[in-house]
Amino acid sequence: MFFKRFYDDDLAQASYMVGCQQTGECLVIDPIRDIRQYLDEAQAQRLRVTHVTETHIHADYLSGGRELAEATGARLLLSAEGGPDWQYTYATPKMEQLHHGDSFMVGNVRLDVRHTPGHTPESLSFLLTDTPRGEVPSLYFSGDFVFVGDLGRPDLLDEAAGGQDTRFQGAREMFRSLQEQFLTLPDHVQVWPAHGSGSACGKALGAVPSTTVGYERALSWWAPYVEKGDEQGFMDELLAGQPDAPLYYGRMKTQNRDGVPLLGHMEPLPELSAEEAQARLNAGALLIDTRPKEEYHQAAPAHSVNLPQANKVETWAGWLLRPENHDFVLLAQGAEAAEQLRRRLWMVGLDNVVGYTRSAAELNTRAVPPITPAELGAYAGALILDVRARSEYEAGHIPGARQLHAGRLPWKLDELPRDRTIIVHCQSGARSAAAASLLGSEGFDVLELAGGFEAWQRSHPDDVQKGLETPESQSAQ
């Protein structure tokens, strides 16, 4: 049997290839949209991609399941569980529905299908048995059900997809899935989840790639609750302290359910002269500028958003850019860099990239230097906008600051004043650079607080406030 884990560090997302070397067939589980890596690996291993599947309808990235199945002619095996609201609504000639208790073979490797709702209603897990070695299962692909040291959050449908109190039903289903599915497996079975540390699909995911059923049974935070049958205690702990969910998750989940547009053969991005790029920007396109924030501060192009490339471009692009609002021009040093960036943007559905330009020097730019904490007092009428997570804000914030998580900013622009200066800050300055550039591109009078809350706190240690300060703070969620 062949087995390989593929990992996207930005999305903290894992996909898997399982192959039977005797028959030359292989399966890909939870592929991302850039399918080159799977095609290249299958060719290197002399395997054919004959099966593609997903553990659930994803919210944090666009699935490559349909793309990979179309490119290879593979069978596309998708969940038919979860009720009418969470069925896949698109169809392809080789799409097949999966139900709890089903099994399918990839050569001599058997995958047994388990319905494990909780994170989402339609969630599936796959129990693998390498039949030439016997009938003892060895691997378990848990999707967003069981992570290393944590569980998938059950509140995303409420937080990002327009649900109403679905978190409580999800938490109850998670409890039953653990009781009736996960904890009935042998302790030796290896667990390979769909996410690692850094994903917003849980609150405390481990950094190691895999775990075992026995390890989670013995050491996970949730196991004592399940062992005692304490469903309410389990629900309270599971739902407490979940991180803010970016609002683009709702769009992603709907697109994955209804069918991600196929990319197919993509022509190389055209290089635009400075004049051509500026004309595009003047007509409504947005420049994605991946330079370090220090360079951006010195010469920020008009109609641009600063997403430093080393700082989780895919995640930040999903948080701050809405594909229905703009075409995009990339600032990139050459064709290869532009292509790599375009492929990363595919992961969050930003397909409408119209070209790239190599330099900001000939564009319309201006300096946007941050202000220091000592200068903050000179802006008595400004709105101080805290773009950190709510938990960070509650732990300590600048008096009078309004909290609005950066991942919700594009959907809340109408709630922000255009007749006042907005001073944006985060914890240390990394997030606020991107958030402030978005507000600037949208025409707001915006400044950035250098060094963020940490810098302000060092000079005002006795002025820090805690908790949710005002109803306005809460309404900004």
Per-residue pLDDT for 96 more than 90? yes
> What's the CATH architecture for 373-475?
3-Layer(aba) Sandwich (3.40)
What pLDDT is stored for residue 201 in this prediction? 61
What average pLDDT does the segment 344-366 reach?
94
Per-residue pLDDT for 56 more than 80? yes
> What's the CATH architecture for 274-366?
3-Layer(aba) Sandwich (3.40)
What pLDDT is stored for residue 163 in this prediction? 67
What pLDDT is stored for residue 472 in this prediction? 42
Per-residue pLDDT for 248 more than 60? yes
120-152 residue pLDDT tens: 999 999 999 999 999 999 999 999 999 999 999
Going by pLDDT thresholds of 50, 70 and 90, the confidence category of residue 270 is very high
The pLDDT > 90 percentage for the chain reads 80
What pLDDT is stored for residue 397 in this prediction? 96
402-459 residue pLDDT tens: 999 998 999 999 999 999 999 999 999 888 999 999 999 999 999 999 999 999 999 9
201-246 residue pLDDT tens: 666 676 789 999 999 999 999 999 999 999 999 999 999 888 777 7
Q: Do domains 2-258 and 274-366 have the same CATH topology?
A: no
What pLDDT is stored for residue 165 in this prediction? 77
pLDDT: which is higher, 12 or 212: 212
159-188 residue pLDDT tens: 666 667 788 999 999 999 999 999 999 999
Q: What is the CA radius of gyration of the chain?
A: 24
426 as an active site residue: the answer is yes
Q: Which of 20, 26, 201, 426 is catalytic?
A: 426
Class for domain 2-258, per CATH? alpha beta
What pLDDT is stored for residue 36 in this prediction? 95
Per-residue pLDDT for 11 more than 90? no
Mean residue pLDDT of the chain comes to 92
Per-residue pLDDT for 111 more than 90? yes
Per-residue pLDDT for 298 more than 60? yes
Structural domain boundaries in the chain: 2-258, 274-366, 373-475
